[in-house]
Chain A
Amino acid sequence: MTDQVLPQVTDLPSTIAALKERFPNAVKDDTRSGYEGVIVDTACLQEFARVIRDEYGFNYLSSLTAVDYLGHGDHLEVVYHAFRVPSGGKPLVFKAQTDRQDAVIPSLVSIYPGADFQEREAYDLYGIHFTGHPNLKRILLWEGFEGHPMRKDYREAYYEQETKPFDSRWPGGHVFRGEEYNPFGHNVRYPAGFTLDDYKPVTEAEFQQGMALGVDIMGDPAFRTDRLLVNLGPHHPSTHGVFRMMVALTGETVESLEPVMGYLHRNHEKIGERNTWYGNMPFTDRLDYICSMCNNLAYAITVEQMMGGQVSVPYRAEVIRVLMAELTRITNHLWSIGFLLNDLGAFFTPALYAIQTREYILDFFEATAGARMMCNYMRIGGVYKDLTARIRSEAALINDRVRDMDTMEYLDKLINDRLPRSIDELDELLSESEIIKSRCIGVGLLPAEMAIAYSASGPLLRGSGVPYDIRRANPYSIYPELEFDVCTRPNGDIYDRYCVRLDEMRQSVRILKQILPRLKDTQGQPIFGGKTSYSIKVPAGEAYGFAENPKGELGFYLVSTGGGNPWRYHVRAPSFINLTPLGEMCKGQKVADVVAILGSIDIVLGETDR
């Protein structure tokens, strides 16, 4: 961490006042009802960012996204959320506005390298040109795609109506399939007059030539054979889904690496803006599909924040939420450690140990929420259902007998015995292993300053020695009353990230042990304090809600115009942003280590590509 002297003013209002004084005409309050922060003139956006980073300590640009205000001022707006790390506290929100036709905004990559992928995403989906961006290309879609799909006037092939519920389907209940009304019978839409006859798609060679890898693969006749461009993925056993990396190698050493993503870009945000507020809850399950409960929680607290005093979450609901979130954290870290070992070459055996323990937790989720993975359990104002008295399941028989167990006894045994035992077991089997140590220590280094600059979060950030955990830095739910430590390790290599995950599982067990008596004490109390209606209206305004997910900071930036659907539904995905430093971390490493470094970041493609 830098030992800079920060100004005396540290609270947000006086910081904003000081900034307005510093930039008299360029920084204005955002006076729209329900909005916060300041609007910065694009001419001095870079200067403003430099000042808040260097003089006011907002060293961490967490989220950057765009909003299309078509019909509400007809401009595009880029919204930034900057935090102080590791001290925490509320974010400084600043915005820059630009014209819809000729959208240009200065890039902040030179000040916050963590803006890199996020600006590319805004360029891809909104068509905003970030001047000064080193590598402004499409990131989720492909070069040659027609249009910028997140703009409000973009119509997809199966477009029916702006927002759900669609008139054609409700209340009449008519069902039809989109294919039936498309001339091709597919989910496709081509521009006027388009045929294949004289069309030339971007070739693979052209695609690779356009990458910032420094290898001229087409024009260089002296291209020596020991200098190679290697493609890893999207079909590759180690890429944790459909992730692709282009690696420039000298012999076996990585010269440069560029991630290529979007192979699982399933238009979460566009669908989310058509959905009702409630309708988005099951979609959040499918973001980071290993941690559905945590995703639910982050979305619920964001909407609750927007609803203000209209909903209050009962205490028992908070207890259950934390119970679910911490169990999810354990399943995620188990999975992540198991598959890190896969990437190191210990194929499937360590993963089998991890998955076995995970199944116990999934059984509990299935009994409570009705699904193993896609729980859709949290509600705006509470949770869907109280814990069942008994865990009964005919689908999973034990020696041909229907399972029937007391839920509290099951949880008691799980938290006090099974989980700690299997965490110790993993620790015992893996932590001191000669092979793991020699493959992991000193590999994939990410120093603390770099981790902050690249907006890394979660175990990746804490593995670099930065004690920043949102559960402490910006507490939500009942975390303030629970005892746990923020786990850090100093070195920022693969081994330290592995250790942070192991430590965090132990801390989660510690939290769960405090949750158990609270569960018993609150037995029978209400679990839902929201509105019991099919649909809700959220007051106009914006909100950025965020939570410490197992993979890092999961944030939702929501904008409401007062209707039954979000105007903007943005997901600040930790898996996506944590990939920004991947290229830097892999430089100078061996190609076999790239796979392990990726494994240590722990990404899930559902969240990376959304």
Chain B
Amino acid sequence: MSNGEINLRDLQHPDIPVPEEMQSNIAVTSLSSLYNWARSRSIWPLLFGLACCAIEMIATAASRFDLARFGMEVMRASPRQADLMIVSGTVTKKMVVPIVRLYNQMPEPKYVLAMGACASGGGPFKEGYNVVSGIDKYIPVDVYVPGCPPTPQALLYGLIALQKKIEKQSLGVGASVPWYGSGPSEEVPVPILGPDIIDPRHAEVLRKEAKKNRPTPTVAEALAELTKAESA
């Protein structure tokens, strides 16, 4: 893929031989690889920044690091036109509602890259009362990029990892990705802002917890209970 030229050898199916002298003109390949090859080189990210990491994401898109080299410079503000959501920053409880809604609005196939410590697992702000412990609590994440914030080089590495992941996905029915199966895949239920953030998938646990008739224990309370149970 150097010099922006198409190298047919990249696509060549390993089991079907093509004579050496014809390899620059002819490739026998599968539909999956051809399709994925095109898709992985034209990922359109959602123009969407959350916090500090967004600044490094913009720096990655700028001239020095130049995201355009990977076919990703077309950042779209509308989720309807985007393939990739780069969750670039701390996900707060207030913000996770629009994020899940945006994710649902993205057409399939869609990917999520958790950029930085906060999006991956809460980061330095994890213990805060308004912070979600990583976006993967709500939506599936394909690539995690560590760092606080990750340097543009690290983000590029993560994006290349995503390209490699896309290249391995098969178009076959019943494949590992939901969008190549039959019928539409399910939407992620949008969280509700109640006394605290509520994941609708937790309705059953909530009912079970409500019977105990006490506020949800803090980590300190849970630890104290555990040590009490252990010593007994």
Nearest to A233 among chain B residues (CB) is B98
CB-nearest residue of chain B to A335: B55
> For residue B203, which residues in chain A have a CB less than 8 angstroms away from its CB?
195-197
Q: Is B213 an interface residue (CB 8 A)?
A: yes
CB pair B202 A195 closer than 8 Å? no
Q: Quick one: CB contact mask for A254-296 with B, threshold 8 Å, 1 for yes?
A: 0000000011111110110010000000110010011000000
* Known contacts A194-B210, A196-B203, A352-B63; A145/B218 CB under 8 A: no
Q: Mark A116-148, 1 if CB is under 8 A from B, else 0.
A: 000000000000000000000000111011100
Q: Are B192 and A290 in contact (CB under 8 A)?
A: no
A359, B94: Cβ atoms closer than 8 Å: no
Q: Scan B189-232; emit 1 where CB is below 8 A from any A CB, else 0.
A: 00011111111101101110110111111111011001000000
Q: With A266-B125, A289-B51 as known contacts, state yes or no: A355 contacts B58, CB within 8 Å.
A: yes
Q: Is the CB of A355 within 8 A of B63?
A: yes
Whether A184 lies near B202 (C-beta < 8 A) is yes
CA distance A187 to B132 in the complex (A): 6
Known: A289-B52, A351-B62. A187 touches B122 (CB 8 A): yes
Q: Does B50 contact A (CB under 8 A)?
A: yes
Docked-complex contact A188 and B50, CB < 8 angstroms: no
Contacts of B212 in A (CB 8 A): 192
- Please, which residues of chain A bring their CB within 8 A of the CB of B219? 157-160, 178, 181-182
Tally of contacts, chain A with chain B, CB under 8 A: 224
- Decide yes or no whether A429 CB sits under 8 A from chain B: no
Chain B residues near A168: list those with CB within 8 A. Answer: 223
**B55 and A271 form a contact (CB under 8 A):** no
> A189-B215, A193-B213, A355-B63 are contacts. A234–B205 as well, Cβ < 8 Å?
no
CB distance from A604 to the nearest CB of B (A): 9
User: A339-365 vs B: 1/0 string, CB under 8 Å?
Assistant: 000000000100110011001000000
- In the bound complex, CA of A185 to CA of B216 (Å): 11
Interface size class of B (residues with CB under 8 A): 35 or more
Q: Known contacts A159-B220, A191-B215, A359-B64; is A271 also within 8 Å of B59 by CB?
A: no
A161 within 8 A of B: yes
Q: Which residue of B lies closest to A355 (CB)?
A: B62
The answer to whether A235 and B98 touch (CB under 8 A), given A189-B216, A265-B92, A267-B131, is yes
Least CB distance, A495 to chain B, in whole angstroms: 25
A interface residue numbers (CB < 8 A to B): 140-142, 144-146, 149, 154-161, 168, 177-179, 181-197, 199, 201-202, 234-237, 241-242, 262-268, 270-271, 274, 282-283, 286, 289-290, 348, 351-352, 355-356, 359, 372-374, 395, 605-606, 609
20 A-B pairs whose Cβ atoms sit less than 8 Å apart in the complex: A145-B196, A149-B130, A154-B129, A156-B218, A159-B219, A187-B128, A190-B216, A193-B210, A194-B194, A196-B200, A196-B206, A265-B130, A268-B125, A286-B51, A355-B62, A356-B63, A359-B59, A373-B52, A373-B56, A395-B151
